[in-house]
């Protein structure tokens, strides 16, 4: 696996194109539809006592990203990551289960306003990438996701507000990037630069409880998806004038890379000379 930009271990920092296959998303998440297996190969279900509590995203062979607020009362040693499947209960027999050895929340994470809502998770063993398990690309700090751009949200969260029933099959939906000033106004000027909004002002499509920590994935070039955000917060689910708020990866990427590079198991990918 190589990348046109650079690698930190098997952490993909794609500038233009990755040589691994990125499978297209055709866009229950409120207002979503069932995802087919291999369609969103970076999606992870985090479980404690076999119960799904948050989503996560594969960014490297040993690294996941999720929302910091998912781990306020969680022991990392009791968390298991389920990958390579769209079935929440693993009924398709294809789920790969890996233990989590470390959860590192951003040191500036504010649980009141959910600023810096990001956490790095280290897996107990490296992943083997295939058609169903793939990392998503991390954007450059200068990457722009223009207003109106359609991106994909996914997860096993509630199908509607107030209904705690989780879908058996991974849900996906297409949402649009929303103007920052508009979103800040809708939320009484409570947004920070570490937040990005996506959804529809009329509501109807949104992430919901249980989707937290999952990906907001944007296709930048054909077949290549970048992680624009992490499902973080909102008011209700799919309510009009209350779009979803996501942790903005471009403003958090430096901390993510610094954190991973300082962990003892991290090894830089060696390049051949000559």
Catalytic residue ranges: 69, 117, 212
Q: Tell me how crowded residue 235 is: count the other CB atoms within 10 A of its CB.
A: 13
Q: 217: helix, coil or strand? A: strand
Query: In degrees rounded to 5, what are phi and psi of residue 119?
Result: -140, 140
Q: Any idea what DSSP says for residue 74?
A: -
The secondary element (H helix, E strand) that includes residue 257 is helix 253-262
Q: 79: helix, coil or strand? A: strand
Q: Per the structure block, which two tokens stand in for 105?
A: 């929340």
Looking only at Cα atoms, what is the longest distance across the chain? 61
Residues 139 and 226: beta-carbon distance below 8 Å: yes
Cα–Cα distance, 230 to 75 (Å, whole number): 21
């Amino acid at each position: 696996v190589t990348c046109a930009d650079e690698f930190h271990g098997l952490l993909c920092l794609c500038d233009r194109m990755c040589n691994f296959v990125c499978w297209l998303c055709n866009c229950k998440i409120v207002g979503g539809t069932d995802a087919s297996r291999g369609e969103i190969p970076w999606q992870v279900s985090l479980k404690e006592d076999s119960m799904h509590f948050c989503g996560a995203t594969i960014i490297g062979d040993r690294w996941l990203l999720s929302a910091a607020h998912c781990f306020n009362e969680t022991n990392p040693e009791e968390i298991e990551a389920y990958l390579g499947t769209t079935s929440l209960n693993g009924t398709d027999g294809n789920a790969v289960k890996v233990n989590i050895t470390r959860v590192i929340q951003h040191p500036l994470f504010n649980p009141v306003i959910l600023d810096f809502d990001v956490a790095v998770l280290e897996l107990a063993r490296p992943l083997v990438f295939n058609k169903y398990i793939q990392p998503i690309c991390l954007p450059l700090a200068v990457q722009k996701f223009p207003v109106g751009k359609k991106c994909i949200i996914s997860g096993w969260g509630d199908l509607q507000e107030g209904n705690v029933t989780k879908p058996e099959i991974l849900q996906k939906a297409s949402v649009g990037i929303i103007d920052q000033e508009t979103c800040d106004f809708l939320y009484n000027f409570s947004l920070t630069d570490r937040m990005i909004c996506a959804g529809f002002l009329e509501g109807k499509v949104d992430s919901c409880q249980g989707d937290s920590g999952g990906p907001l994935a944007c296709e930048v070039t054909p077949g290549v998806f970048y992680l624009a955000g992490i499902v973080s917060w909102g008011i209700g689910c799919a309510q009009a004038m209350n779009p979803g708020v996501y942790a903005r990866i471009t403003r958090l990427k430096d901390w993510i890379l610094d954190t991973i590079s300082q962990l003892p198991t991290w090894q830089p990918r060696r390049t051949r000379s000559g």
